[in-house]
Amino acid sequence: MTQTQSTCPYCGVGCGVIIESTGPQITGVRGDPTHPANFGRLCTKGSTLHLTAASPVTLQTRLLTPQHRPQRGDKPQPIAWEAALDTAAQKFADTIARHGPDAVGFYVSGQLLTEDYYVFNKLAKGLVGTNNIDTNSRLCMSSAVAGYKTTLGADAPPTCYDDVQHAQCLFIVGSNTAWAHPILFRRIEDAKAANPGMKIIVADPRRTETAGLADLFLPIQPGSDVMLFHGMLHLMLWEGWVDSAYIAAHTTGFDALKAVVRDCTPARVAEVCGISEADLATAARWFAGVGNHPGAGAATAARQPTLSLYCQGLNQSTSGTAKNAALINLHLATGQIGRPGAGPFSLTGQPNAMGGREVGGLANLLSAHRDLANPQHRAEVAALWGVPEVPGTPGKTAVEMFQAAADGEIRALWIACTNPAQSLPDQATVRRALERAEFVVVQEAFATTATAQYADLLLPATTWGEKTGTVTNSERRISRVRPAVPAPGDTRHDWAIAVQFAHRLEARLRPGRPTLFPYATGDGEAERGAEAVWNEHRETTRGRDLDITGLSWALLDAQGPQQWPFPAGTADKTDADADPSAPPRPLGKARLYEDGVFPTPDGRARFAANAWQPVAEPRQARYPFSLTTGRLRDQWHGMSRTGTLGRLFGHVAEPSVQMHPQDMARRQLAEGDLVHVTSARGAIVVPVQGSTDVGLSQAFIAMHWGSEYLSGQSSTGTPLAGVNALTTPAFCPTSKQPELKHTAVKILKAELPWRLLAMAWLPADSALAAREALAALMPALPFASCVPFSNNAPLAGPQRERHGVLLRAAGHEPAPDALIERIEALLGLDTRDTLRYADRRRGQRRALRLERQGGDSLLAGMLLAGDTRAEVWLKTLLQEELPAQGYGRLLLVPGAQAPSGAQAVQSRGKPVCSCLNVTDAAITAHLAQCHGTDADRLAQLQGALRCGTQCGSCVPELKRMVRATGPLAPATPQAPAAALSI
C-alpha cells in the first residue's frame, strides 16, 4: 500500500488527507495529523472520499475519453484528443475572427487548482484578449472580496484558525458552520469546552445546528444583516463602547458612518430584523468585548477579543458587499482586529476559491490581487506575460456572461469543473444560453452533470487523487495537492488541457511568435509543468500584499502547508522561542494588520457608510414566502461526487421544502404532501416537510437539488430544473454576486393524485448507471425525484454496504405502461419470479422481487404505482433488509398497514451518525435512560452507541437531541398516606 499526502477537494477549510492506494486504485483515506487545518480530523464527506474514487463509481460516472456531438441533441461520440483540441481551437479562432474576442467566454471553478486557474486566466486575458473569464467563486466569495477591499484595502482575510482558541466572543453570521465547515466547527466546540465563558452569538433566519451551540441566537429576517450591524454600532456609540483611539489612529470615514447609523435605533432594528431590543444590546456588548466586564470601560487593554465567522448568508445578496463591509465596520470601530482572537474571518466556500482570487481568476481582477480597472496594474501584468497589453474593457461576470450568451452576444463558451446548469440562478436563462451558444466546451471529470448534456465537446479532466498542484484555504494557507494514482482513461490535468488548447489557438491568433505557455505537458512531465506554472504565478506576487516569493515547490514539499504573505527571506526566520540549535523553520504570517497599517494609499482602513437596503424581492401578496437555500451536512454543491454514494443520502434522503408547521396548517398541508413552489422565474414540485427551525412566512430548500435529482415537467411540457429554477439573478452592484439566499415564492398544494414509488438494491457496478437512466425519464412526469440509497453499513465495514436507487414520481393520471415497464427493467423488476399485481382501470400496479440471502428471503426491489400507501412498511422491509419469508402474495395487499398476522415491521430510523450507522431512534431510546447534565448524557450516549466518536460531524445534532430530550426525571418519593387522602 502506498500513502500520499494531499488535500481534501471539498470546502475551504482545506483539510489535509492521507490517501491510501494499491496500484491504480485508491483504497482508503484518513486525515493528515500533521496538517494545521485539521490535525487528522475529517468530516463525513472527507472520510468517504476513497469510496467516490472506487472503480465502480469511476466506470459509471466519470468522463474518461473526449467526446463530441455532431449535432445538438445527439448522443456524444468518442473523439481523439488531437482532433478534439483542434476542433476547439478552430471554433474559437473562427468566432474571434468573425465577432471579436469578447464573443467568447470562459467559466471556471473554485475547485480548480491554482495552476489551472492561472493558465485559464492567462489564456483569456493574455492570448484571446478578453476579460470574459469568471468563476463559480463569483457565486461564493466575491462579496467577501469586495468587502475586504472596500474597508481594509486588500482581499486578505486578516485572521487564522487558531484565533478560535483565543476569542472570548464568536460572532457567527450567515453561516451554518456546523454543516458547511464541519472541521472548523469541531475547533469551535473544543474552544467552547475549554473556555465555557466564551460567548457565541449566531445570527441566522433559520435555527441551524450551529445555533445549537449559541449563547445568544438572533433569528433575524432574511436580508436584514446590515440593519443588525448598524444597530449594534448605534448602541456601541451610545454606550461608549467604541475604541476612539484606534479609530483616530488607523481609520478614515467614521463620521459619515455615524450619520448613517444614527437612525438605526434599537426600536427600528428590532422591527426590521425581528429580534428583541434586549438581545440586540447583549450582542453589541459582547461583540465590543466589554460584556463580561461591565465596569471595565472601553479601554483597548480591557477588551475581550471578538472573532466573526461568516459565509454565504452575507455574500449571496444584492447587498453582499455592504453586509461584509458593515460587519468589518464593527471590528474597526472597536479595535477588534490585528490581535489574537479578533478580526473578521470570511469562511471560503470552495477548496480553492482563495487561490483563484490570488491569480486574478475573476472578470474584474488580474494576477496577485491587481485590479483590472487600474492601468498600471494592467501594464505590470502585460509585461510579466510578455504581451502588448491586457484589455481594459470589463469582462462579463457569471450571471452577466450567461445572460450575454442567451442574448447572442457571447457565442462560444468554455466551462471547466463547474455545473452552471445546476448552480447558477434563473435556470431558464442559463439553459437558454447553453442552447443558443454556437459552441460549448465542457471540461469535466464527471459525465453526469446537467451541464454536460449541453456540450458540443466534452473534455475529460483528472480529479481528486489524480491531480498535482496547490490550493489555498480560508486562512491563506497554501497546501500541496498530490496524485496518488495515475490518471484514469484518457483524462488530462485541467491546466494541461488549457495549455494544449492555447498552443493550437495561438498558432491561429499569433502565428510564428514565441508561445506564451512554455509549460511541459507530456507524459511524465506533469509535476515539472505544474511547478513551472506555479513559479510564474509566484513571480507575479513580488511586492504585492500576498507576496510568496520566499516559498518554493520544494519548501512546500519539505515543510508542509504555509500561509501568505511569505516574501523572500521568510524561510530564514526562526521563532523567538525556538531552540537556538534547531534548524530555521519557515514562518508565514498568521495574522495581518497587527501594526494597524493597512494596504490603502494612506495606510488607514476605511469605514463604509452604506445604508440598509431590503432584499431584491420582498415578500408580497402573490409571493408570500421568503425562500432561503443552504447546504446539507453530507452533500457538496451539485453532488456530482457526493451523489455517487448512497450512504451520504442517509442523513437527508430526498429533496423537500421546509415550512413552519403553522404555515402548513393554514394551507391545509400535511407532512409529505407535494407542493408547487413558484417564483417570478419558474416553479418546481417538491414534498413539504414541517420544521420549527424555519420562521413563519419562510421556507428552506437545500441548494444541492438540481435537475439531476429533482425534476419533472411543467404544465407547458418544460422540464423542471431544480431549486435554481426559482432563484433570482439580481446581484450586488459592487461584487456582482447574485442573491441566491433569498427569493420570494408562493407555495401551493400540488394536485397530483397518481403516485409512484420504485426502489431496488442493485449491483455496485450498475446502480449508478441505473440511476442516471432513471433520472433521464424524470421529465416525462409532472414530478419526479431520483436518489441513491444505502444500507448505511458502518464505514469500517465497506464490504457490507449495499447500493440502491429510489425513484419517486407523481402525475395527474397514470403514466403510460411503456414508461412503467422501462422503470421496472432498470430496477431489475422484469424477471419471471417478480410478484405482480395490476389494475389498469384504477391505475394501480405493483411489482415486488424477492431474493434469497442465507436462510432468509429478502425484498430486493419493488414498484408501487397508484396506491403507494404500503410504502410505510414495504420501504422499511426493503431498506432495513428484514426477513420477508412468509409474506408471499400478502406483499401485494393494498393499503398502508402490513397484512394482519405478519411480523412487525419497524424502521430503525434515520441515520444520524453516518460513520457507524447510529439512527435517531436508537439515540432517542438510549437518551431516555441517561442522567445528569447535558454533557454527562452526551458522554453516556457516546460511550454506549459510539455515535459522534469518528468524524464528529453528527455531534451538533447529538447535542440538539440531548437538549430536546432532557434529563431523566428523578423518582418521585411516595407521599404519606395522610397526604394522599387530602
Report whether pLDDT(969) > 60: no
Q: What is the pTM of this model?
A: 0.95
The three cell numbers locating residue 779? 421529465
What pLDDT score does 953 carry?
94
pLDDT tens by residue, 220-229:
999 999 999 9
d(CA 706, CA 785): 10
Average pLDDT of the residues of the chain: 94
* E runs forming strands in 791-828: 803-811
d(CA 59, CA 54): 9
Phi and psi (nearest 5°) for 393? -70, 125
The mean per-residue pLDDT over the stretch 864-889 comes to: 90
The mean per-residue pLDDT over the stretch 865-886 comes to: 91
What pLDDT score does 571 carry?
77
Confidence of residue 900 (pLDDT cuts 50, 70, 90): low
Q: Are 168 and 289 in contact (CB under 8 A)?
A: yes
What pLDDT score does 299 carry?
47
Report whether pLDDT(634) > 60: yes
What pLDDT score does 853 carry?
85
Phi and psi (nearest 5°) for 817? -55, -40
* E runs forming strands in 521-634: 562-563, 605-606, 625-630
Q: How big, in percent rounded to 5, are the helix, strand and coil portions of the chain?
A: 35, 20, 45
pLDDT tens by residue, 249-267:
999 999 999 999 999 999 9
The three cell numbers locating residue 792? 448505511
Q: Are 164 and 180 in contact (CB under 8 A)?
A: no
Report whether pLDDT(584) > 80: no
Cα-based angle 28, 34, 37 (whole degrees, multiple of 5): 90
d(CA 472, CA 155): 13
The three cell numbers locating residue 833? 419470479
Strand order in the sheet with 16-22: 2-7, 16-22, 25-31
Report whether pLDDT(594) > 60: yes
Report whether pLDDT(972) > 80: no
What pLDDT score does 934 carry?
92
The mean per-residue pLDDT over the stretch 332-355 comes to: 97
d(CA 203, CA 412): 43
> Nearest-CA neighbor of 479 among 957, 5, 81?
5
The mean per-residue pLDDT over the stretch 960-977 comes to: 66
What pLDDT score does 977 carry?
37
Question: Which residue is listed with cell 463569483?
Answer: 138
What pLDDT score does 712 carry?
95
The mean per-residue pLDDT over the stretch 74-87 comes to: 97
Which residues, including other chains, have CB under 8 Å from residue 706's CB and lie 6 or more apart? 419, 421, 422, 423, 450, 638, 639, 721, 722, 723, 724
Which residues, including other chains, have CB under 8 Å from residue 934's CB and lie 6 or more apart? 959, 962, 963
CB neighbour class for 558 (10 Å; exposed up to 12, middle 13-18, buried from 19): exposed
What pLDDT score does 126 carry?
98
DSSP β-bridge partners for residue 30: 18
Q: Are 535 and 525 in contact (CB under 8 A)?
A: no
CB neighbour class for 776 (10 Å; exposed up to 12, middle 13-18, buried from 19): middle
d(CA 452, CA 433): 14
What pLDDT score does 234 carry?
98
What pLDDT score does 895 carry?
79
d(CA 919, CA 927): 12
Q: In whole angstroms, how far apart are CA 171 and each of 13, 37, 307, 591?
A: 18, 21, 6, 18
> Nearest-CA neighbor of 664 among 910, 220, 713, 656?
656
Q: Are 741 and 317 in contact (CB under 8 A)?
A: yes
Report whether pLDDT(146) > 50: yes
Confidence of residue 980 (pLDDT cuts 50, 70, 90): very low
Report whether pLDDT(973) > 80: no
d(CA 757, CA 149): 52
pLDDT tens by residue, 756-778:
999 999 999 999 999 999 999 99
pLDDT tens by residue, 825-846:
999 999 988 999 988 888 889 9
Confidence of residue 583 (pLDDT cuts 50, 70, 90): low
Q: Are 499 and 86 in contact (CB under 8 A)?
A: no
**Length of the chain measured in residues:** 982
The mean per-residue pLDDT over the stretch 203-213 comes to: 97
Are β-strands 783-790 and 754-762 bridged in parallel, bridged antiparallel, or unpaired?
A: unpaired
The three cell numbers locating residue 293? 466586564
pLDDT tens by residue, 461-503:
999 999 999 999 999 999 999 999 999 999 999 999 999 999 9
What pLDDT score does 580 carry?
54
d(CA 508, CA 93): 7
The three cell numbers locating residue 363? 472578470
d(CA 206, CA 766): 39
Report whether pLDDT(408) > 60: yes
The mean per-residue pLDDT over the stretch 350-378 comes to: 96
What pLDDT score does 258 carry?
98
Confidence of residue 291 (pLDDT cuts 50, 70, 90): low
The three cell numbers locating residue 891? 406483499
DSSP 637-683: TT-TTGGG-GGGGSSS-S--EEE-HHHHHHTT--TT-EEEEE-SS-E
Q: Are 588 and 566 in contact (CB under 8 A)?
A: yes
Whether the bond between 205 and the residue before it is cis, its omega within 30 degrees of 0, is no
What pLDDT score does 898 carry?
78
What pLDDT score does 278 carry?
98
pLDDT tens by residue, 662-708:
999 999 999 999 999 999 999 999 999 999 999 999 999 999 999 99
d(CA 25, CA 125): 38
- Side-chain half-sphere exposure of 704, counting CA atoms within 13 A: 23
Phi and psi (nearest 5°) for 661? -55, -35
Rounded percentage of the chain residues whose pLDDT exceeds 70: 95
Phi-psi map region of 470: left, alpha, beta (phi>0 left; psi -120 to 50 alpha)? beta
DSSP 722-790: BGGGTS---B-TTT--B-TT-EEEEEEE----EEEEEEEEE-TTTHHHHHHHHHTTGGGSSEEEEEEEE
pLDDT tens by residue, 722-755:
999 999 999 999 999 999 999 999 999 999 999 9
DSSP β-bridge partners for residue 819: none
d(CA 318, CA 320): 6
Question: Which residue is listed with cell 488535500?
Answer: 7
Phi and psi (nearest 5°) for 108? -120, -160
The mean per-residue pLDDT over the stretch 92-98 comes to: 98
The mean per-residue pLDDT over the stretch 780-791 comes to: 97
Which residues, including other chains, have CB under 8 Å from residue 556's CB and lie 6 or more apart? 470, 478, 479, 480, 562
Report whether pLDDT(117) > 50: yes
Phi-psi map region of 881: left, alpha, beta (phi>0 left; psi -120 to 50 alpha)? left
What pLDDT score does 295 carry?
42
